[in-house]
Amino acid sequence: MHNRSGLPLSAALFYFSPNWSVQRLWPADTDYTELGRTDDNGFTVPQGMQATLPAGITHGIERLKLFATAEPTRFDVLTLGPLDVARSVVRSGGNALEKLLASISGGSLVRELIPCGNTGDWVTAELELETSA
């Protein structure tokens, strides 16, 4: 990962798993990590991971997504268990991005357009890993 913005960023890395759950991989022990400016070498997430394929499966795609914002932000509203498990959302009333995430998670419809104001400066980056047997 690289932070070339010149500002420290609140960041969290999520894994979008095949059972449609969304899990925070990094940081493991807190809501977000402050990621300072990096040089050309970037920053390595201090967690090893291994991709495996179930028996009979010869191809798989894993998705990782990094969320970052200039304000300290709790990203846990983005976590989601498998689709067959009821969701329990903990609401927070922090900055503009947290309010937007809470309003989305509170929607009662599958699709819903929710008006919102300025959500602050934030960005995402996605990495797709392809595994073949």
Of 76, 93, 89, the residue nearest 31 (C-alpha): 76
pLDDT at 65: 92
| Model confidence, pTM | 0.71
Q: Please give the Cα distance from 133 to 126 (Å, whole number).
A: 23
List, for residues 31-54, the tens digit of each pLDDT value. Answer: 788 888 888 888 887 777 777 888
Q: Does residue 111 surpass a pLDDT of 60? A: no
CB 53 within 8 A of CB 131: yes
Length of the chain: 133
Residue position matching structure tokens 């599958």: 110
Q: Please give the C-alpha separations between residue 49 and each of 14, 15, 25, 52, in angstroms, as whole numbers.
A: 13, 11, 10, 10
Q: DSSP 3-state helix, strand, coil percentages of the chain (rounded to 5)?
A: 10, 30, 60
Q: What is the mean pLDDT of the chain?
A: 78
Average pLDDT, stretch 118-130?
A: 79
